Amino acid sequence: MRQYSTERNTAETKIKLSLNLDGTGKSDIDTGCGFLDHMLTLFAKHSRFDLSVHCDGDTNVDYHHTTEDIGIVLGDALHRCIGDAKGIRRYGQRLLPMDEALILCAVDISGRAHLRYSLSIPAQKVGDFDTELVEEFMTAFTANAKINLHLKQLDGSNSHHIIEGAFKALARALREAASIDEDSKDEIPSTKGIL
């Protein structure tokens, strides 16, 4: 089963999310933050995961709790969709150009969480979105997806392009890593026999 739906309600956010790894990139996104909506929509498109996210958060404060909590829920959903990891390719990578920005992303769906985040975003805000929240999202997502994620900015000066490049690179790397390898579809991709 490579799809999962869930709801998570706290005093700060109410999130309803569904994820299907074997989709076509359809999305239905409403987070209360236009820039985050844009990032999650393109994440779905480039991963070809079907993704629905609806969040009612304390955006009157800022977008911190909304962004972090969506990272938590999306990461957990990915982990549950992967299940025992039988047949997945496990590793994925993407070197992605976005105009002047160049982003390297590498993913290992390992069952162990580790993030190496090397983006240098020059602006403090894109629209009304605090750019420091990109790292908060990636931290929450990585921890709950239980993956190794390396994000490295090789070039770039436009904050929007850097962030968009990172989300697209992540999507493309995950698309590869989570895909089923027909040559080993009944195997766990580890010598340990478990991930």
Whether residue 189 is contained in a domain is answered as no
Rounded Cα–Cα distance for residues 105 and 36 (Å)? 19
The CATH number given to whatever domain includes residue 111 is: 3.30.230.40
User: What is the total count of domains within the chain?
Assistant: 1
Q: Is residue 195 part of a domain?
A: no
75 found inside a domain: yes
Model confidence at 186: pLDDT above 90: no
Please report the pLDDT score of residue 192 as a whole number.
Answer: 83
Give the domain range for residue 37.
3-184
In a domain, 84, yes or no: yes
Q: Is residue 190 domain-resident?
A: no
Q: What is the mean pLDDT of residues 137-149?
A: 98
Q: Report yes or no on 74 lying in a domain.
A: yes
Q: Which pLDDT tens digit goes with each residue over 97-125?
A: 999 999 999 999 999 999 999 999 999 99
pTM tops 0.95, yes or no: yes
